A = this chain, B = another copy of it.
Amino acid sequence: MPEPLYRQLAERLRARIDAGDLRPGDQIPSEAELGEEFGVSRNTVRLAVTALANEGLIESRAGRGTFVRQRRTVTVLHPLDPSGVPPGPKDAFKSTLEREGVKPTQENFRVEFRRATAEVAARLGIEEGDRVVVRRMDRLVDGEPWSRQESFYPVEIAEGTELMSPDDIPRGTIRVLKENGHAQVGFRDEINCRMPTRDESGFLGSPPGVPVLELFRVAYSEERPIRLTITVYAGDSTQFAYEVGDVSARGETGRGSRDREDG
């Protein structure tokens, strides 16, 4: 068998998209039409279509049809300032993204107590099962869901502070920590990628085949870990960047928004 039918069909669809024959937002022929056109059964068409959907190339919506996806990529340039205090009066999220030329908004603030899982406890230097304060919010760029963030604080650090209020803190939580005697002097980022949970893929508005980028950031004062922030981003619309040393030879200006690439 040279190549299965469904994969041949997937490649031909991919070629149409790459060639610009089908443009982002366009509806592709229905499963019945594709089956007719290529002389295969609807099941075989579905194998091809779901394969491309799993790559994030197309997206099916029940009752409506299947469409070519298009998402802009936002580059997040993580500043290397150990204090974490963002330039300007706003918090890190807003100042980072406004530099990228997009409109950041936040919503669904929530604060709750939880027991530290092994993962959280190890990073905060506490015991598994210890109570932690969790601040959680959803973040959008230009009105579209973009990332979901949870910040874990040891109770002693967060309790009785502004961090407990389930609202936006415009000047940023890092400043609040500092005001309460927990000045950040360093941080560690851990980046990995994985497939989204059902929940995440629902919120991020990406088909279940699109991976997520996950950032673990642990912030340290001179004495101890003061916060763990876990942020989950839609993988196909986010890119991280770190600049180290002198990159003045980089001609291009740092405008990060661009159309998606590659195939």
Contacts and interface: CB of A to CB of B under 8 A. Distances in A.
Interface of A: 54-56, 73, 75, 78, 80-83, 119, 122-123, 125, 184-195, 197, 208-213, 218, 220-225, 235-236, 238-252, 261-263
Question: Most chain-B CB neighbours within 10 Å: which of A208, A211, A244, A248?
Answer: A244
27 contacts: A54-B195, A55-B194, A73-B192, A80-B80, A82-B244, A83-B245, A119-B261, A185-B246, A186-B244, A186-B248, A187-B243, A188-B244, A188-B247, A188-B250, A189-B240, A189-B243, A189-B244, A190-B241, A191-B213, A191-B240, A192-B213, A193-B193, A193-B212, A194-B262, A197-B263, A218-B247, A221-B249
Nearest to A79: B244
Contacts of A83: 245
A243 B75 contact: no
A193 B239 CA distance: 8
Nearest to A54: B54
A246 B220 contact: yes
A192 B223 contact: no
B186 A247 contact: yes
B238 A192 contact: yes
Contacts of A245: 81-83, 184-187, 220
Copies in the complex: 2
Contacts of A239: 190-192
Contacts of A191: 191, 213, 239-242
Contacts of A82: 244-246
A190 B249 contact: no
Contacts of A220: 245-250
Given A125-B252, A225-B250, A249-B220, A194 B209 contact: no
Contact of A235 (B119, B194, B248): B194
Nearest to A213: B193
